[in-house]
Amino acid sequence: MPHVEKRTEIIVTPGETTKRLDQFLTNRESYFSRTALQRLIQDGHITVDGQTVKPSHKIKPGDRILLIVPRPEPLEIGPEPIPLDIVYEDEFLLVLNKPAGLVVHPAPGHWSGTLVNALLYHMTTHQGSLSVIGGKERPGLVHRLDKDTTGILVVAKTDQAHRSLANQFKKHSITRIYEALVWGKPKSGEGRIDLSIGRDTKDRKKFSSRTARPKESFTRYRILQRFGKAAAQVELVPGTGRTHQLRVHLSAIGCPILGDHTYGGKKVMSVETVMIPRVMLHAKKLGFIHPEFKKEMEFTAPLPFDMKEIVEALMKSTTLAEDEK
């Protein structure tokens, strides 16, 4: 038996309806995807009354389910010469402008070519180090941006800097401002979106208000520019830091982010004749108190070139549409 990271015992209650084992556990153990649970069942790490079963096994009241999650094998992450757009750096932290398409840390499907690989290379060539609080797979990472999201991201070099920055994120004292291009346009020029969200009960890869564990979240928005009725450029200030929060919140008010197929479907992949290549979300500004110097620091990144191109194309497209009326 491998070293155990987590052991959970569940007794099926009398009021529970008959259902598949993998379905039952997916609703109970929100940390795992259904695919991951099916793999654990097939590998014999999940048993019912001491017996190995299939994912399709039908549970019944009184069943004793034992879930054992083996400790993962150590992951070797190596430095890779990936260019970084560094905005600021000292012995305690590093601030960079993340490009689109760069995954922040290694994960299934992206074991290399990540920001972490790039940071490790940067540190070896500049005789630096990264904080280890985030673990071997996430050295230096205090927060993250999705693969297609661009913009400012801060990295901790020391554990002390990591703790300070993480505490600021936890208290929401960090200044964070995003810009996005959205489908349609919000009804008001500015407003606040209050919507508790969590992992979706039907699609484990998504987050929504349809969740067993809702977490309070809110986002303030302001329209910067309208492109007729087709789209808008908005400024976003998240009051909380939930996973996919901005994407879920904008979708909830009927204005999903352009290029966000997950939360907007096919309709957001083009506007008029303009094709959208990726999720049009940019982390424009990040401000915090320096962990060591105790002074306010603020960093800004201009819209990336591809977003500027989309803005210009939308302006031309909507102008032509108005002229043809």
Q: Point out the residues that are catalytic.
A: 146
Q: Are 257 and 271 in contact (CB under 8 A)?
A: no
For residue 299, how many other CB atoms are within 10 A of its CB? 20
C-alpha to C-alpha distance for 255 and 239, rounded to whole angstroms: 19
Cα angle 230, 232, 235 (rounded to 5 degrees) comes to: 165
In this structure, what token pair is assigned to residue 322?
């108005």
Q: Between the CA of residue 45 and those of 1, 107, 188, 218, 305, what are the distances in Å?
A: 10, 22, 52, 39, 48
For residue 305, how many other CB atoms are within 10 A of its CB? 10
In this structure, what token pair is assigned to residue 311?
């803005």
Beta bridge partners of 154: 95
In this structure, what token pair is assigned to residue 243?
């996973």
Q: Which residue has tokens 């919140």?
A: 249
AA letter at 218: F
Supply the DSSP string of 4-67, one letter for each residue.
EEEEEEEEPPTTPPPEEHHHHHHHH-TTS-HHHHHHHHHTTSEEETTEE--TTPEE-TT-EEEE
| DSSP 3-state of 197 | strand
